[in-house]
C-alpha cells in the first residue's frame, strides 16, 4: 500500500492526462483533506465542481475545506444553497451548525443541529451541542436556515391503501408571499376564503359556498403559487393535481381517479383542491372518437364539483390553465367555475414586490428594487425567479474563486438580466388571436384590455 503522499502524487499525475475524471479528483481532494492540506483540497474540489457543477457531496466537501481554513462565511453560503436544494444530507446540517457557530449565528446553528440529529441521530455531537443555545424545535412559521415553500405532509392513498392518489402539502406560504395580484387575492377571499371562515354570515344572506375559481394566463405568472398561498392563508391542506396525470386511457378509469381525488379532499378538509392543466378536460380538443369518453369524464368532474352525492364543505376548488380556449364550456356554468380570472404578467410594481419577496432571505445589500422592477418589463414571476437564481449562481462562483463571500447587489442582478429572456410573448401571440376572433361572452376582454396597456403593447 503506498503512503498517502505517494498516492496523492500518483493521483495528481493521473489527473494531468485526464483532468475531467471527477471521481479521481474527488479522491485526491479527500486525501488532501485527511492530510490537513485544506487549501490544496479546496482547489481540487473547485476544479471537480467545474466538471460536475451540481454534485452535492463535492459541494459539501468544498464547504468543509473552507470551514477548516476558518472561512466559515464562505462555507455557510455553500451550505445554505445545499440546504435549500432537494433532500439535503444530514451532514450538510451538521457542518452548517459548526459553520454558523463560527460565524456568530448561534440560533441558526442550533436549528441546523436539530435538523442534522433528526435526520441521523448517530450524528449527535455533545461537544458541539454544548456551544449551542436552547431553541424551541422548529415550528411551521419559522424562517431560515431552511425555509421550504411547502411541506409534504403525506401521500394520499386509495381506499385499499395501495395506490398513491395525490401529494398533500401543508403550505407555509400565504398571501404575503405573493407579490402584486391584489385583485385576484380579493376575489379569492370573497369567493373561496370567507365562505369557509364566515359560514354563518354567508348563510344569513342566503349564499352557499360552492363552485370555484378558474385562473388562466401565461405560464409562470403565479397561478400555482397563489393557489398554494390560499391554502397557507387559511391553514388548509393543499392537494395539487395535474389533470393530465389523472386522465387515463382506459374507459372508466379517469372517472374513478377523479372520484378518489375528491373523496380524499373531503376526508382531509379544510383543503384547497387545485387542478392544474384543466384544459385537459376539454372535449373541444379531442377528436370525435374520444368525444363521448371525454363527456363521461367531464360529467363525473361536474357531479363531484356539485357535490351531488356528498357535501364538499371545506373543500376549496381552484383551477388553472394556460389554454382556456380548450376548457369545456360546461365547466364555466354557475356553481362551477363561474369566476374565470385572467392572471396577467406582473406589472412594474408587482415585479418589484416579487423581487423583494424572493430576495428577502438572501444575503443582499442596498438593492434598487424600483429600478429592477422597471428594467424587467415582460418578465413573469418564474422568469424573475430564474433571474435571481442566476445572479446568485454567478455570485457564488465569484465567492468560491475569491474565497470571500459578498452580498448580492443591484449590479449582480443587472448583469444576470443581460443574459435573461422573458418567456411569455408566445402565449400572448396565441391569446391575442382567440381574444380577437373567438371572444364569446367577452371571456377574453381582460386580455384585450391588458394588450392595450403600455406594458402589454410592448410584449
Q: With CB under 6 A, what is the number of residues at the site for ligand ATP?
A: 20
Can you tell me which of 88, 211, 220, 373 binds ligand ATP, judged by CB under 6 A? Answer: 220
Which parts of 177-216 interact with ligand ATP (CB under 6 A)? 178-181
Is the backbone peptide bond immediately before 270 cis, with ω within 30 degrees of 0? yes
Q: Which stretch binds ligand ATP (CB under 6 A): 60-68, 175-183, 234-242, 296-304?
A: 175-183
Decide: 138 and 83 in contact? Cβ < 8 Å.
no
d(CA 240, CA 247): 15
Report the candidate in 381, 451, 386 with the shortest Cα–Cα distance to residue 413: 386
Place of cell 393530465: 244
CB of 134 to ligand ATP, least distance (A): 34
Can you tell me which of 219, 307, 378, 403 binds ligand ATP, judged by CB under 6 A? Answer: 219
Neighbours of 145 (CB within 10 A): 23
Report the candidate in 399, 123, 363, 154 with the shortest Cα–Cα distance to residue 112: 123
Question: Whose Cβ is closer to ligand ATP: residue 92's or residue 354's?
Answer: 354
CB of 381 to ligand ATP, least distance (A): 2
- Residue 403's SS3 state is coil
Site string for ligand ATP, 299-338 (x = CB under 6 A): ---------------------x-x----------------
d(CA 30, CA 46): 13
Which parts of 363-402 interact with ligand ATP (CB under 6 A)? 381-382, 385
CB of 277 to ligand ATP, least distance (A): 8
Q: Which stretch binds ligand ATP (CB under 6 A): 4-12, 39-47, 172-180, 249-257?
A: 172-180
- Residues pairing with 213 in the sheet: 318, 339
d(CA 177, CA 161): 35
CA 435, chain centre distance (Å): 31
Q: Which stretch binds ligand ATP (CB under 6 A): 19-27, 220-228, 389-397, 399-407?
A: 220-228
Question: Whose Cβ is closer to ligand ATP: residue 195's or residue 422's?
Answer: 422
Can you tell me which of 354, 408, 416, 451 binds ligand ATP, judged by CB under 6 A? Answer: 354
Question: Which residue's Cβ lies closest to ligand ATP?
Answer: 381
With residue 371 as reference, give the H or E element that holds it. helix 369-375
Question: Whose Cβ is closer to ligand ATP: residue 64's or residue 352's?
Answer: 352
Decide: 413 and 384 in contact? Cβ < 8 Å.
no
d(CA 188, CA 436): 28
- Residue 63's SS3 state is helix
Question: Whose Cβ is closer to ligand ATP: residue 243's or residue 265's?
Answer: 243
DSSP state of 406: -
Which parts of 414-453 interact with ligand ATP (CB under 6 A)? none
Which parts of 86-115 interact with ligand ATP (CB under 6 A)? none
- Residues pairing with 317 in the sheet: 212, 273
Q: Which stretch binds ligand ATP (CB under 6 A): 31-39, 174-182, 201-209, 258-266?
A: 174-182
Question: Whose Cβ is closer to ligand ATP: residue 103's or residue 230's?
Answer: 230
What the block records as the C-alpha cell of 25 is 479528483
d(CA 105, CA 335): 53
Question: Whose Cβ is closer to ligand ATP: residue 79's or residue 424's?
Answer: 424
CB of 272 to ligand ATP, least distance (A): 14
Binding footprint of ligand ATP on the chain (CB under 6 A): 178-181, 219-225, 276, 320, 322, 346, 354, 357, 381-382, 385
Amino acid at each position: 500500500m503506498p503512503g498517502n503522499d505517494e498516492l496523492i502524487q500518483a493521483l495528481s499525475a493521473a489527473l494531468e492526462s485526464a483532468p475531467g475524471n471527477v471521481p479521481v479528483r474527488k479522491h485526491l481532494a479527500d486525501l488532501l483533506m485527511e492530510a490537513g492540506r485544506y487549501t490544496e483540497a479546496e482547489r481540487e474540489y473547485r476544479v471537480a465542481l467545474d466538471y460536475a457543477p451540481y454534485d452535492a457531496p463535492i459541494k459539501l466537501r468544498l464547504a468543509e475545506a473552507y470551514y477548516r481554513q476558518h472561512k466559515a462565511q464562505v462555507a455557510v453560503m455553500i451550505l445554505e444553497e445545499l440546504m435549500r436544494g432537494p433532500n439535503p444530507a444530514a451532514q450538510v446540517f451538521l457542518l452548517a451548525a459548526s459553520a454558523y457557530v463560527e460565524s456568530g449565528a448561534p440560533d441558526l446553528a442550533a436549528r441546523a443541529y436539530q435538523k442534522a440529529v433528526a435526520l441521523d441521530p448517530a450524528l449527535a455531537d455533545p461537544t458541539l451541542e454544548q456551544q449551542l443555545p436552547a431553541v424551541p424545535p422548529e415550528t411551521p412559521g419559522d424562517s431560515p436556515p431552511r425555509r421550504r415553500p411547502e411541506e409534504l405532509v403525506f401521500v394520499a392513498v386509495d381506499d385499499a391503501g395501495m395506490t398513491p392518489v395525490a401529494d398533500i402539502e401543508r403550505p407555509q406560504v400565504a398571501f404575503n408571499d405573493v407579490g402584486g395580484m391584489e385583485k385576484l387575492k380579493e376575489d379569492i377571499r370573497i369567493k373561496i376564503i370567507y365562505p369557509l371562515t364566515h359560514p354563518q354570515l354567508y348563510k344569513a344572506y342566503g349564499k352557499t359556498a360552492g363552485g370555484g375559481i378558474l385562473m388562466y394566463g401565461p405560464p409562470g405568472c403565479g397561478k400555482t403559487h397563489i393557489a398554494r398561498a390560499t391554502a397557507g392563508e387559511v391553514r388548509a391542506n393543499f392537494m395539487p393535481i395535474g389533470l393530465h396525470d389523472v386522465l387515463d386511457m382506459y374507459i372508466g378509469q379517469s372517472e374513478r381517479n377523479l372520484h378518489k381525488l375528491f373523496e380524499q379532499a373531503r376526508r382531509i378538509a379544510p383543503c384547497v383542491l387545485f387542478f392544474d392543466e384543466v384544459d385537459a378536460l376539454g372535449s373541444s380538443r379531442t377528436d370525435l372518437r374520444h368525444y363521448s369518453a371525454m363527456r363521461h369524464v367531464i360529467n363525473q368532474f361536474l357531479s363531484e364539483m356539485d357535490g351531488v352525492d356528498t357535501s364538499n364543505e371545506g373543500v376549496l376548488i381552484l383551477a388553472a390553465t394556460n389554454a382556456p380556449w380548450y376548457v369545456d364550456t360546461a365547466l364555466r356554468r354557475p356553481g362551477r367555475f363561474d369566476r374565470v380570472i385572467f392572471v396577467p404578467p406582473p406589472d412594474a410594481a408587482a415585479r418589484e414586490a416579487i423581487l423583494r419577496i424572493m430576495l428577502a432571505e438572501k444575503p443582499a445589500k442596498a438593492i434598487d428594487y424600483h429600478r429592477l422592477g422597471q428594467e424587467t418589463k415582460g418578465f413573469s414571476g418564474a422568469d424573475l425567479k430564474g433571474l435571481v437564481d442566476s445572479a446568485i449562481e454567478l455570485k457564488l462562483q465569484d465567492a468560491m474563486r475569491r474565497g470571500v463571500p459578498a452580498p448580492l447587489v443591484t449590479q449582480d442582478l443587472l448583469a444576470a438580466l443581460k443574459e435573461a429572456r422573458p418567456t411569455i410573448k408566445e402565449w400572448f401571440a396565441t391569446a391575442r388571436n382567440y381574444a380577437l376572433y373567438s371572444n364569446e361572452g367577452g371571456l377574453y376582454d381582460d386580455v384585450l384590455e391588458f394588450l392595450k396597456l403600455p406594458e402589454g403593447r410592448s410584449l
